[in-house]
């Protein structure tokens, strides 16, 4: 079983930066795809970014491309999401997740384990 714990969320103003971390325990996740999703109040969970186990391939939602960067440190069993130029529409609970697949990485059902989420609030 894998446990995922997100951290780094907070309340910031438009244009600020935050770095989210997701620490995995219980089993190594070095061979899994790891992703970040977010869910705003009253909306469905949506894909934000994902990274292949090697770290060589990354995927981004169009809405965050060029502003967010996903990375991972397999030695630390941790994945990161650097978020720059934050906008009010980025306000959501951010979740990390792991998947044993390397396809359809934008689809939440492909992910097996989820963290509890961390709140990001961006005010104008």
For residue 28, give both structure tokens.
Answer: 């190594």
Query: Which residues, including other chains, have CB under 8 Å from residue 83's CB and lie 6 or more apart?
Result: 17, 18, 19, 20, 64, 67, 68, 90, 120
Query: Which residues, including other chains, have CB under 8 Å from residue 101's CB and lie 6 or more apart?
Result: 33, 110
Q: For residues 117 and 94, give the distance between their C-alpha atoms in angstroms, rounded to a whole number.
A: 5
Q: Position of tokens 């990274």?
A: 51
Say if CB 22 and CB 78 are below 8 A apart.
yes
pLDDT tens, the chain, 124 aa long: 889 999 999 999 999 999 999 999 887 777 789 999 999 999 999 999 999 988 789 999 999 999 999 999 989 999 999 999 999 999 999 999 999 888 899 999 999 999 999 999 999 9
Which pLDDT does position 54 carry in this prediction?
82
Which pLDDT does position 101 carry in this prediction?
86
First vs last Cα of the chain: how many Å apart? 40
Say if CB 71 and CB 19 are below 8 A apart.
no
HSE-CB at 56 with a 13 A cutoff on CA atoms is 3
């Amino acid at each position: 079983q894998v446990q995922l714990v997100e951290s780094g969320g907070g309340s910031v103003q438009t244009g600020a930066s935050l770095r989210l971390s997701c620490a995995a325990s219980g089993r190594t996740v070095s061979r899994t795809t790891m992703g970040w999703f977010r869910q705003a109040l009253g909306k469905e969970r949506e894909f934000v970014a994902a990274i292949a186990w090697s770290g060589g391939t990354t995927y981004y939602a169009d809405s965050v491309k060029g502003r967010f960067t996903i990375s991972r440190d397999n030695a630390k069993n941790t994945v990161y999401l650097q978020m720059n130029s934050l906008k009010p529409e980025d306000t959501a609970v951010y979740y990390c997740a792991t998947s044993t697949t390397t396809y359809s990485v934008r689809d939440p059902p492909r992910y097996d384990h989820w963290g509890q989420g961390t709140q990001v609030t961006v005010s104008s």
